[in-house]
Structure 1
Amino acid sequence: MNLPLDPDQVVYGFNTSSLIKASAVLYPMDNFPSLWDEIEELIRNGRLKMSEPVFDEVMWGAVLRDWCSEKGLKPFLLSKVDDSVENAFQTIQSKYPELMNVKRGTSLADPWVISLAMRYPKGVVVTEEQPTGDLVNPRIPDVCKDLSVECVNIAGFVSRENWVF
């Protein structure tokens, strides 16, 4: 399933940094199992999605790779790159070319995070990146702000879902 049944539902597009930082530093799975149960439920309900380039980056980390594999989450996580996502990606790539600057250490998957969120009426990007305030050398939050796409960090995501642990 690629789209949630209810168009009023928020769909989250996670950046690799959020999941890696959450699983390794902020909210390790062994210490916060109920958080990861909630995240799994969002995934299974089609409310947390990734495009293939982002998923591939997430799979570099053993903890997340094992968790996704054990839970069988890949088919629920992956969102098909349709024309709307591809068009948004092309727009982002041409308008913000430095978003994908390997020399600066930015990810080639960053535009996919934003373009996927733009696919959904209530798409929200989740990233741990901090804005630069500079659209010449932007990070994900800068581009999201310029394109009017909501962008939160992992703590903001938890708050947005009204989760209490």
Structure 2
Amino acid sequence: MLYLLDASVLITANNSYYPVDQIPEYWEWLLHMGQSGRVKIPLEIFEEIKDGPKDAEKDLLFSWIQQDESKKALILDEQVDIANVQTVVITGYGADLTDDEVEQIGRDPFLVAHAMTHKEDRCVVTVEVSKPSKKRHNRHLPDVCKEVGVHWCDPFVLNRDLGFRTNWKKRA
């Protein structure tokens, strides 16, 4: 299974439970998982992370993601199928979205579209939780994934499935 990370996974991990400067083992493990082809970030999502910080000088996640080693290990090296992006937008969000709504969705349809390329072998990882009552541009990734038949999980399932431990290097 290839796990495709949403920007929220890295941002929340850094801001909440695995700060880059305090739990470096997690970030080293992510690089290892990326190098072994188990975890990737679509380019569109990478750009979302890269474009995000207000103060890049002080943003440790921004610094980490900009390193050549991080880019090489984690960026998914494939073009998105635009037909899949359109399917995700129409089926997952709505066929008649306004330009403002499409802008508010952001790059999430690209993430799901990359997972659609190999539905049985790919899984979207997000911190978002299912909220079926949300409609149109407010829909959450788990509900959009379900709508188009794509696997999804949260970061803790990813960590369990791939065996993250702070002493992972001793076991690798």
TM-score, structure 2 as length reference: 0.76
Supply the distance in 2 between the matched residues of 1:45 and 1:82 (Cα, whole angstroms). Answer: 20
Give distance in 1, aligned partners of 2:68 and 2:22.
18
- What corresponds to 1:15 in structure 2? 6
Gaps of 5+ in 1: 1-9
What do the CA deviations read for 1:91-140 (whole angstroms, capped 9, x no partner)? 11122335x88669954111111111222341111111111114733210
Structure 1 or 2, whichever has the larger Rg, is 2
Q: 2:132 & 2:14 partners in 1: Cα distance?
A: 28
Per the alignment, do residues 63 and 103 of structure 1 end up closer, same or farther by CA in structure 2, a change over 3 Å counting?
Answer: farther
| Structure 2 equivalent of residue 90 of structure 1 | 86
Supply the RMSD in Å over aligned alpha carbons: 2.7
Looking at structure 1, the residues matched to 127 and 82 of structure 2 have their Cα atoms a distance apart, in angstroms, of: 24
> Which of the pair is proportionally richer in helix?
2
| Structure 2 stretches lacking a partner, 5+ long | 54-58, 167-172
Quote the sequence identity (%): 23
Count of residues in correspondence between the two structures:
155
TM-score normalised by L of structure 1: 0.79
Distance 1:106 1:160 in 2: 32
Q: Using the alignment, how far apart are the partners of 2:149 and 2:92 within structure 1?
A: 15
Structure 1 stretches (4+) deviating beyond 3 angstroms? 80-83, 100-107, 134-137
Do 2:6 and 2:124's aligned partners in 1 also have CA atoms closer than 8 Å? yes
